Structures are given as C-alpha cells and as structure tokens.
Copies of this chain bind each other. A is one copy, B any other.
C-alpha cells in the first residue's frame, strides 16, 4: 500500500482514513487509544464527562496516543427550564416508573450533558488536541477561532446540504456527513424536522459536491464493504461508531452489548425519549410506549438534554432487573453487520478497505 496524498490526513499525520465515532457514555480513552494505535483516529467523547474527568482522560490520551486523536463535544444551547413541560414528562413516565418500582425525581430537570464552554476550552488547551470535533453545529466563533489558533483541526457533522454549507462558511476543516442510518444523536442543528434527514447514499454525494473541505462518511458503515461504497460516493474517509461498541475496549453496557448481538439489532428507530433530541437506537419498551403514534418520537419530551433526567431512575431500576426496556441502546441501521472485533483489528480492516478503494479509484478505468 502506497500512501496516497490526502491533505487532511497528511496535516494530521493520520495513517488510515478511519475515524472512531465518539460515543458518549459507552467509551473513554481506552477505545480511542486502541484505534490510534492501529493508525486510525480515536475519539474521546466529552459530553457526559465532568471537567475533572475530562482532564484525566485527556491526560491518558495525550500521553499514550500513537498518532493524532480527537476530542468531541456537544455544542447545543442549554434550554430554559419549562416546569409545565417537565411535570408533563414526569406524568408520561409514571407508568414505566411504576412498572419497575422506580421513584421519579422531584424538582427541576437536571442536564445530563454539558455543552462545550470556555471552561472546557481551558481544560483542553494544555493538551493541544489534534482534532476537536463538535456535534449539533459549532460553538461561538471566538471559541472556534481560539482552537484553530492552536493548530487544531475543527470538525463537525452535517445531516443536510444546508448544514454542510453552513459549517464550511464557519470554518470547519472536515465535515462528517451523517446519514440517516447512523446510531446515536442526529447532529442536526439548522432544522428540527426529521423528514429532512437522508440516507447516506443520497446525502454523501450531495455534500461532496456542495463543499470544498474533505467529507467523511458516517451512518450504515460497519465493514469493509461499507467503506468501499462510501469511498465510491466520494468520501475522504469514514467515521464508524456501532461496530466499535462491540470491541472489548468499549465500555458498552452489557445489556446494550447483548441487544446489539441479538436479532433485535435489526430494528432501530429515531427517538427523543432519552434526551430530548432525535437519536437512533434499537427499539425498546420506552421508545414504543412514549413515542407518538407509530413513531418513537414524543412531542412531549422536554428539550435536549433535559428529557434524560426523569428517565435515569427508571432506567436504573429496569437495568437492576436485567432489562434494557429503558436503556438507550444506540445503534446504527448496520448493527446486524457488525462483528465483535478488537478495536485495532477493526480499524485495520476498515482502513485497508479504504486504501484499496482509493487505489482503485486512481487506476485507469478498463
């Protein structure tokens, strides 16, 4: 395999065009380090970490990583409290709470996920992250400018062509095109309309045409075949999440890991009942019972991330009974294609497929 000229990879010193998707709550520096060691870009999700925990993880990652790494933040605007809505949500959750003998919280909703902030910027500054990636758009321009001034690359996800154009105008170095197949939170930030969300097959080439920056493909990619398809659609690389949830280096909850390897993994849906924003997970009781009509989306859920607060004790009670009925089982639509592999092995397989596809794309057509 010859190294191919690719500006974004060369700048980073990245060996394989494979990014491990940041998966808040299911992984820390151990998974990221394993991916980095194999030549891919490992990612540390910061959304559910305290600043102290973030500092500790960055210390491990920055000292031990072979090659570049990524730290990822959510950058939503925290919503105002809405006591009426929060009370109604508690009412909606009461049947589930009663079923599992859980005690619902009282008082104001508590945010389980913090957005990027000037304080977080101070925490990451000494570690000089090679890549800082965001979900739900970008933080304030001054924060973006400061990160870029360190020489770090700033990345973000686009779920529509409009979002990709917006991100390019606002200075991102790389765009992750997130197909509707992707597990976890939709990165959508210019729209709340889920009908705008598109399969990767249609989304990726439209974004590649619309912007000049490199575009990585995310959503529905779990194996070498998916990588080859993404590269054929013009991707500069791939971001893979669900497949890494099965790696031993991930901290995937045992119930989540079991669901991913069961036949249930074949049916995922978008739901907002766990956090308030649409995210894709394996369909379970909470999604079915709280979703409106035939969907797993509820118009009653408090704004992100406040919906999660009321579910926490219900989830804990159900999990204590060995049930995943109220656990967010984040998974992409390609979950049934995922094999449980060590993160390094998975990274190598995906990376080799990407390079081979690249070489073939360069070869003259027969």
Chain A interface (Cβ within 8 Å of chain B)?
Answer: 1, 160-161, 179-181, 192-196, 198-203, 205-206, 219-223, 225-226, 228-230, 232-234, 266-270, 283, 292-297, 299, 332-334, 336-337, 356-357, 359-360, 363, 365-366
> B181, B222, B296, B365: which contacts A198 (Cβ < 8 A)?
B181
Q: Are A366 and B195 in contact, with the CB atoms below 8 A?
A: no
Tell me which residues across on chain B come within 8 A of A283, comparing CB atoms: 195
> B199, B222, B223, B357: which contacts A180 (Cβ < 8 A)?
B199
Q: Are B337 and A206 in contact, with the CB atoms below 8 A?
A: yes
Tell me which residues across on chain B come within 8 A of A223, comparing CB atoms: 205
Q: Given A194-B294, A195-B267, A366-B1, answer yes or no on A226-B203 (Cβ-Cβ < 8 Å).
A: no
Tell me which residues across on chain B come within 8 A of A336, comparing CB atoms: 161, 206
Tell me which residues across on chain B come within 8 A of A359, comparing CB atoms: 366
Q: Are A219 and B205 in contact, with the CB atoms below 8 A?
A: no
Tell me which residues across on chain B come within 8 A of A201, comparing CB atoms: 179, 181, 199-201, 219-221, 226, 229-230, 333-334
- Assembled-state Cα–Cα distance A3/B250 (Å): 47
- Assembled-state Cα–Cα distance A228/B295 (Å): 33
When A and B form their complex, which 6 residue pairs have the shortest distance between CB atoms, in order from nearest? Answer: A199-B199, A201-B220, A202-B333, A195-B269, A202-B220, A228-B232
Tell me which residues across on chain B come within 8 A of A203, comparing CB atoms: 333
Contacts A/B (CB < 8 Å), 16 sampled:
A160-B266, A180-B180, A181-B202, A194-B294, A201-B220, A202-B222, A202-B334, A205-B223, A205-B225, A206-B337, A225-B232, A225-B234, A226-B233, A228-B232, A293-B299, A356-B366
Tell me which residues across on chain B come within 8 A of A337, comparing CB atoms: 202, 205-206
- Assembled-state Cα–Cα distance A226/B209 (Å): 13
- Assembled-state Cα–Cα distance A194/B283 (Å): 13
Tell me which residues across on chain B come within 8 A of A222, comparing CB atoms: 202
Q: Given A161-B266, A229-B230, A336-B206, answer yes or no on A220-B195 (Cβ-Cβ < 8 Å).
A: no
For residue A110, give the distance in angstroms from its CB to the closest CB of chain B.
27
For residue A195, give the distance in angstroms from its CB to the closest CB of chain B.
4
Q: Are B225 and A199 in contact, with the CB atoms below 8 A?
A: no
The CB with the most chain B CB atoms within 10 A, among A179, A205, A229, A363, is that of A229
Tell me which residues across on chain B come within 8 A of A356, comparing CB atoms: 365-366
Q: Given A200-B201, A201-B220, answer yes or no on A294-B232 (Cβ-Cβ < 8 Å).
A: no
- Assembled-state Cα–Cα distance A295/B293 (Å): 11
- Assembled-state Cα–Cα distance A337/B207 (Å): 11
